[in-house]
């Protein structure tokens, strides 16, 4: 059964750019009331105005519990939260031996702790009324670890594992938990990163449509593009040496290593901002 999103209150973190912004637009088009959360207040406000449909833009730092809690409190003034899309994330790339401890903390705080904190903040009210949906934007890297992004891979693997556990915890209370796993998406986060052989970079609207579809027809795991799920599960059933050979042949093992550093320079600078 397809759920109507009309008048549903949908909260999207990291909603000022890329996947989050496109997702906000698609939820508005589906009739939802949307609140965009972003680290930059001017970006949040401008994005809400761009999305239209009465969308609201508010500031939130998902890595800071006090900031996230204040954000959720502001949102609840509009009514009970029906859907939380934990989309905020960063992807600094480097060999682990070159990654600073500050960068490690930042990746884990935004990509993992932000998801955990957001779920903690909205789950009690969802449990109390017996409905709600938490949608976590993970990554294909949450199933397939890739060199040069070890901590990023770890954070996304953790998001998938956390989501699996929360699905079991919240399902008996009528609350859904879902994961969306995009491959390479043509956003600033993936600047300078090329899709593997036989794959095209997805567009933000492809992920946005998948998120809205999941909100309407809840299921746990959705890959973007859809066929990448089959590739993963088939290759994962093979012996390790075959799996490695296939990964090397399509360039998956070099996906985050053979990148255009110049194209990523501005993103890496912004992602490193405390």
Which has the higher per-residue pLDDT, 149 or 195? 149
**pLDDT above 60 for 197:** no
The mean per-residue pLDDT over the stretch 204-220 comes to 96
How far apart are the C-alpha atoms of 28 and 50, rounded to whole Å? 11
State the pLDDT at residue 211: 98
State the pLDDT at residue 181: 95
Has 233 been annotated as catalytic? no
How far apart are the C-alpha atoms of 138 and 114, rounded to whole Å? 12
**pLDDT above 90 for 190:** no
The CB-side HSE value for 213 (13 A sphere, CA atoms) comes to 13
Contacts 24+ apart (CB under 8 A), 48-51: 48/24, 50/21, 50/25, 51/21, 51/24, 51/25
Question: Which burial class, exposed, middle or buried, applies to 49 when counting CB atoms under 10 A from its CB (0-12, 13-18, 19+)?
Answer: exposed
State the pLDDT at residue 202: 76
How far apart are the C-alpha atoms of 219 and 226, rounded to whole Å? 14
The residue behind tokens 């670890």 is: 145
Give residue-wise pLDDT tens across range 40-71.
888 999 999 999 999 999 999 999 999 999 99
Task: Give 174's contacts (C-beta < 8 A, 6+ positions apart).
Answer: 130, 131, 132
Give residue-wise pLDDT tens across range 126-178.
999 999 999 999 998 888 888 888 999 999 999 999 999 999 999 999 999 99
How far apart are the C-alpha atoms of 36 and 1, rounded to whole Å? 27
How far apart are the C-alpha atoms of 247 and 13, rounded to whole Å? 32
**pLDDT above 60 for 191:** no
The structure tokens listed for 140 are 């294909």
Q: Whose CA is closest to 118, among 179, 160, 71? A: 71
The number of beta carbons lying within 10 Å of the beta carbon of residue 126 is 23
How far apart are the C-alpha atoms of 182 and 202, rounded to whole Å? 8
Which has the higher per-residue pLDDT, 244 or 122? 122
Find how far residue 1's CA is from the centre of its chain: 25
State the pLDDT at residue 187: 61
Output DSSP code: residue 7: T
State the pLDDT at residue 54: 96
The mean per-residue pLDDT over the stretch 246-271 comes to 65
How far apart are the C-alpha atoms of 58 and 45, rounded to whole Å? 7
How far apart are the C-alpha atoms of 39 and 152, rounded to whole Å? 19
Quote the mean pLDDT of the chain: 88
The residue ranges of every structural domain in the chain are: 9-271
pLDDT band (50, 70, 90) for residue 73: very high
Exactly one of 68, 152, 233, 267 is catalytic; name it.
152
Task: State which fold the 9-271 domain adopts.
Answer: Rossmann fold (3.40.50)
């Amino acid at each position: 059964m397809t759920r109507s999103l009309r008048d549903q209150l949908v909260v999207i973190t990291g909603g000022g750019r890329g996947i989050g912004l496109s997702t906000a637009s698609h939820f508005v088009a589906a009739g939802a009331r949307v609140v965009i959360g972003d680290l930059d207040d001017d970006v949040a406000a401008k994005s809400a105005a761009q999305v239209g449909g009465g969308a609201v833009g508010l500031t939130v730092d998902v890595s800071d519990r006090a900031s996230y809690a204040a954000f959720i409190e502001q949102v609840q003034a509009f009514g009970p939260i029906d859907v939380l899309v934990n989309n905020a994330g960063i992807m600094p790339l480097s060999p682990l031996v070159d990654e600073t401890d500050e960068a490690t903390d930042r990746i884990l705080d935004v990509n993992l702790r932000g998801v955990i904190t957001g779920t903690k903040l909205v789950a009690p009210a969802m449990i109390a009324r017996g409905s709600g949906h938490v949608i976590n934007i993970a990554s294909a890297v949450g199933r397939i670890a890739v060199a040069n992004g070890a901590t990023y891979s770890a954070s996304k693997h953790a998001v998938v594992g956390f989501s699996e556990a929360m699905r079991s915890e919240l399902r008996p209370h009528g609350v859904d938990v879902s994961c969306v796993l995009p491959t390479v998406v043509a956003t600033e986060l993936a600047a300078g990163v090329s899709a593997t052989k036989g794959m095209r970079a997805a567009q933000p609207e492809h992920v946005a449509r998948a998120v809205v579809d999941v909100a309407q027809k809840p299921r746990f795991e959705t890959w973007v593009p859809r066929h990448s799920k089959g590739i993963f599960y088939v290759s994962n059933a093979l012996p390790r040496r075959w799996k490695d050979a296939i990964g090397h042949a399509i360039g998956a093992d070099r996906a985050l290593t053979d990148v255009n550093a110049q194209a990523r320079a501005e993103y890496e600078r912004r992602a490193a901002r405390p």
